[in-house]
Amino acid sequence: MSDAYPAAGVRPGDVGMTTSDRRASAPRNAATPSSRPAESVVDLRSDTVTRPTAAMRAAMAAADVGDDVFGDDPSVNALQERIAALLGKEAALFVTSGTQGNLVAVMSHCARGDEYLVGQSAHTYRYEAGGAAVLGSVQPQPIEHQADGTLALDAIAAAIKPDDSHFACTRLLCLENTLGGKVMSLRYLEDATALARSRGLATHLDGARLFNAAVALGGDPFEQAQAIAAPFDSVSVCFSKGLGAPVGSALVGSRELIGRAHRLRKMLGGGLRQAGILAAAASHALDHHVARLADDHALAARLAEGLQGLDGLTVDPPQTNMVFVSVDSAYAPGLALHLKEHGVLVTGLDRLRFVTHLDVDAAGIDRAIAAVRAAMTA
């Protein structure tokens, strides 16, 4: 694995910047270099913790803006046209978050009393506060995942309700790619959506980390992203995870579906005014931060390799930018706290999640490895 990464303390997205540039790009409440600890925190909790690079901030500051509620913010309109074309759909809608994008998608596909099929561990089902049920009156039907993160085709078929007044009407299949860092094959996506269509269901993809999946498949990431999106009626994609923007996602689909989603976004309080400042960050990310996701994947592999062979740990081989580590009960209660005390942030207790991203370099990964090894061999 190549060690050609920036030195510790230099953010990968800021390579080539001067010291004054980096100071200008730091959050206003960040410590100055003179007061910053000798070793900064290595934050591996999520790829949502990234900060905009100086170049992204410059793009945001220079954004041409208007009132997006009136539909006349040129930067938002340009982003929507671009992401729709990139993913091979007719139209797109800029939304505040992946949760909002998934919610308006489900509500656009389904009516009150309908049902959507979804994985038991899918973000749309487990981590979005039950929004589809609470706000859309759309019932989720969770399905257990297979070991590779997919939903078995037989299980999908069995979950579709008959046309009987006792049951909710099954209208939609929701899949997620990546799921827990795992990449779904194009063949599986085609087979699952074909099954759904054959039974009269619409299909939605939670593609929060779609570009991670696209990069992992190899080849041109934009061609792979379009191939991933192709069999779905709607797709949500997040700009504020691995792509490094501060806010925002997009929902893509047919013009008719996006028209319904636009009304629902307004209903849910998601109408924004001069949102071009945020859209400019997303456009910058599409220009500069897609191919570099391969660096995050390489760092995840570096981390997994560094943790192999430790008694008390079972490391799942990463496919993208997430490393999951199961921790023996003897070590689980204190390991995450030990890491925090040594400047490494993760999530979980007996199953830790490490997520690599734009703000983590090889030196940070090596610090995390060293901290884990120190705890496990003490």
Same domain for 216 and 309, yes or no, is no
> What is the domain-level CATH number for residue 29?
3.90.1150.10
In a domain, 90, yes or no: yes
- What does 312-326 look like in DSSP terms, one character per residue? TEEEPPPSSSEEEEE
**49 within a domain of the structure (yes/no):** no
Domain assignment present for 164:
yes
Q: How many helices (H) and strands (E) does the chain have?
A: 15, 12
Task: Report the C-alpha gap between 269 and 271 in whole angstroms.
Answer: 6
Question: Residue type for 173, please?
Answer: L
- 334 vs 250, 290, 331, 345, CA distance in Å? 39, 36, 6, 13
- Among residues 257, 288, 319, which one ends one of the domains? 288
Q: Which of 288, 319, 343 is the last residue of a domain?
A: 288
Task: Give the pLDDT score at 378.
Answer: 74
110 found inside a domain:
yes
Question: Do 348 and 369 share a domain, yes or no?
Answer: yes
Q: Is the same domain home to 148 and 282?
A: yes
Q: Are residues 262 and 143 in the same domain?
A: yes
226 and 370 share one domain: no
330/218: higher pLDDT: 218
Under the banding of pLDDT at 50, 70 and 90, the label for residue 4 is very low
- Shared domain for 158 and 73, answered yes or no, is yes
% of the chain beyond a pLDDT of 70 = 90
**Is the same domain home to 272 and 132?**
yes
Q: Are residues 77 and 205 in the same domain?
A: yes
The pLDDT value given to residue 8: 36
pLDDT digits (tens, 9 = 90+) for 17-50: 433 344 344 433 333 333 335 358 999 999 999 9
Question: What pLDDT digit, counting tens, does each position of 52-65 carry?
Answer: 999 999 999 999 99
Predicted local confidence at residue 64, as pLDDT: 97
Mean pLDDT of the chain: 91
Other beta carbons less than 10 A from residue 164's beta carbon? 7
Asked whether residue 373 is domain-assigned, the answer is yes
Q: What is the pLDDT of residues 73-82, one digit of tens each?
A: 999 999 999 9
Using the predicted structure, report yes or no on whether residue 5 has a pLDDT greater than 80. no
Span 176-183, mean pLDDT?
97
Q: Which domain holds residue 21?
A: 12-40+292-377
Residues 129 and 20 reside in one and the same domain = no
Q: Is 333 found in the same domain as 225?
A: no
Which residues, including other chains, have CB under 8 Å from residue 308's CB and lie 6 or more apart?
A: 315
pLDDT band at 332 (very low <50, low <70, confident <90, very high): confident
What tokens were used for 249? 């996602």
CATH number at residue 161: 3.40.640.10
Give the pLDDT score at 22.
40
**Tens-digit pLDDT profile for residues 256-313:** 999 999 999 999 999 999 999 999 999 999 999 999 999 999 999 999 999 999 999 9
Closest CA relative to residue 5, chosen from 303, 295, 344: 295
Residues 242 and 317 in one domain: no
Count of domains in the chain?
Answer: 2
pLDDT at 3 over 60: no
